[in-house]
Structure 1
Amino acid sequence: MSASLTGRRVLVTAGPTFEDLDPVRFLGNRSSGKMGFAIAAAAQRAGADVVLVAGPVHLPTPAGVRRVDVRSAAQMHAAVFDALPADIYIGAAAVADFTPAQIAPSKIKKRPGEDGLDLHLVRTRDILADVAVANPRPQLVVGFAAETDDVDANARGKLAAKRVDLVAANRVGLKGSGFESDDNTLLVHDAAGHVQLGPASKAEIADRLVALVAARLSQESR
C-alpha cells in the first residue's frame, strides 16, 4: 500500500496522562508512548505535517515532528483542540477516564487509626469523542482501544459509540505486547470489519497503520 500523506496535517496523541492526587502522588497508567511516537514518525516519513501531543514520557521527539508536552487529561484535551484543524487525528494516548475531584494542596498523610483512603474521582472530558464531532472535523479520526478482555467486542463498541472511522485495538496485560513493549499486535476495525497488523515491532506496525490510513484517505478523496 502507498503511504503518501504529502500535504496532509496529522495530529497524534501518545503516552499516558498523570492525574495528580497531591504534590507527590498521581494516578497514571502503564503506557510507554512508544506506539504513538512510532506513528508520528511514520506519518512524518510519509510526508505529513505532524503534531504530536505527548503525555509524560521519556522518549526523543521524532525528526521533523512538532511536539507538545502535557501532563493531565485536561491539558491533553486543550492541546489537541489548540492543534486542530487537522486532516487526520490518531488518538494513540492512554488518556485517564477519571481524575481526582480535588488535588490536595499538601502531601496526604497516614493518620493513626485509618484503615484506608477514600478518593472521589470525576470523569475527564472525552478527547476522542469530542474530536469526532469537532467543527471542522478531521477527515479521518482513528481511536485506540487497549483492552484486557473481549478485544473485538470492545473495539466495535468504541467505533460506534465514539463515531470514529477506525479503531485500532490491542490486548494489554502485565506481560507481552502492548504497554511497555517494543512489539504489538493491532486489530484495526472499521464499519466493514477488521484487519490485523502484527505481531511485529511497533515501528513496523506504525508504518503499516499509516499506509492503511493513507490508502483510505486516498479512496475517500476520489
Structure 2
Amino acid sequence: MRCVIWLSRPAQNTSFDAAICTAAVADWRPAHVQDQKIKKTSKDALPPPLALLPNPDILAELSEPSPSRPRLVIGFAAETETVEAHARAKLARKGCDWIVANNVGAGSDVMGGSENQVILITPDKAEHWPRLSKEDVACRLARTLADWFLKPHKSL
C-alpha cells in the first residue's frame, strides 16, 4: 500500500516544490497473503513462519535525481538511540535534503503525547529545537520550509 498522494501523483513531467514524508506507510508486507484465516491446529501450536518483503521506499524514490524530483525532500526519523547519528545516516542513505528526527525510545512520551523535541538535520548542520507542542513543531517546520524557498538555491 502506498500513500494516497503517491498513488495520485501526476505524470513524470510534473514537478512539486517539496515532498514531506512524515512516516513510512509500512516498511514490510507479507510475502504470501492467505485467502482464509490461519487457524491454530492445537493448543500448543507454534505460529507459522511469516515471510516478509520490503515495501517500496517512497522517501528514497522521491529523493532520486530526476527532472520531476521535488526541489526539497524532507523525511522523518523516529529513533530509539543515538538519534542524531542515525538520522544523519538516514539522510545520506535515502538521499533526501532534510531529516526531522526525534527520540521515541523508552522513557520518551512522544508517541501518544502532545509534545515533541526534534533535531532538524541537513547536510550542513543539526539544529536542536526546544521541546514544543506538536502543533508548534509543525508550524516551525512550515516556517523553516518557507524561509528556505525564499532564498536562492542551486538546482539539486
How would you bin the TM-score normalised by the shorter chain? 0.7 to 0.9
Number of aligned positions between the proteins: 148
Q: Name the residue aligned to 2:8.
A: 82
What residue is the counterpart of 2:47 in the other structure? 116
Instruction: Work out the CA distance in 2 between the residues paired with 1:212 and 1:219.
Output: 11
Structure 1: distance between partners of 2:152 and 2:30? 42
The alpha carbon displacement at 1:146 in A equals 0.5
Residue of structure 2 equivalent to 1:19? none
What's the CA shift for 1:221? 4.9
Aligned alpha-carbon RMSD (Å) = 2.0
Distance in 1, Cα, partners of 2:7 & 2:27? 18
For the pair shown, the structure with the greater C-alpha radius of gyration is: 2
Q: Residues 45-104 of structure 1: CA distance to partner in whole angstroms, max 9, x if unpaired?
A: xxxxxxxxxxxxxxxxxxxxxxxxxxxxx332x631523532111101243211101221
2:80·2:106 contact (CA, 8 Å) conserved in 1?
no
Alpha-carbon distance between aligned partners in 2 of 1:81 and 1:110, rounded to the nearest angstrom: 37
In the superposition, relative to structure 1, how do residues 175 and 110 fare at CA in structure 2: closer, same or farther (>3 Å)?
farther
- CA shift, 1:200, in A, is 0.9
The question of whether the paired residues in 1 share the 8 Å contact of 2:119 and 2:129 is answered with yes
Q: Give 1:23-102 correspondences, 5 Å limit.
A: 74-76=1-3, 79-80=5-6, 82-83=8-9, 85-102=15-32
Aligned position for 1:128: 59
Once the two structures are superposed, what CA deviation does each residue of 1:151-174 show, in whole Å capped at 9, x if it has no partner?
111111011111111000001135
Task: Verify the 8 A CA contact 1:198 1:205 in the aligned structure 2.
Answer: no
CA contact (8 A) 1:177 1:185 kept: no
1:184 aligns with 2:116: yes
Structure number with the higher strand fraction is 1
Report the secondary structure of 1:145's partner residue: strand
* Distance in 2 separating the partners of 1:187 and 1:220: 24
Pick closer, same or farther for the CA change 1:135–1:180 going to 2, 3 Å: farther
What stretches of structure 1 of length at least 5 have no aligned partner?
1-73
Identity of aligned residues (%): 33
In the alignment, what sits opposite 2:76?
144
Assess if the C-alpha contact under 8 Å between 1:197 and 1:208 holds in 2.
Answer: no
Is the 8 Å Cα contact of residues 73 and 97 (structure 2) preserved in structure 1?
Answer: yes
| 1:12 aligned residue | none
CA shift digits 1:11-56 (9 cap, x unpaired): xxxxxxxxxxxxxxxxxxxxxxxxxxxxxxxxxxxxxxxxxxxxxx
Q: Summarize the Cα distance change of 1:104–1:156 in structure 2 as closer, same or farther, 3 Å threshold.
A: same
CA contact (8 A) 1:165 1:190 kept: yes
Question: What amino acid does structure 2 have at the position aligned with 1:208?
Answer: R
Q: Structure 1: which 4+ aligned runs deviate by more than 6 Å?
A: none
Distance 1:109 1:115 in 2: 11
Distance (whole Å) between structure 1 residues aligned to residue 135 and residue 79 of structure 2: 21
**Does the aligned pair in 2 maintain the 1:173–1:179 contact within 8 Å?**
no
TM-score, length-scaled by structure 2 = 0.85
Counterpart CA distance in 2 for 1:79 and 1:107 is: 31
TM-score of the pair, normalised by structure 1:
0.61
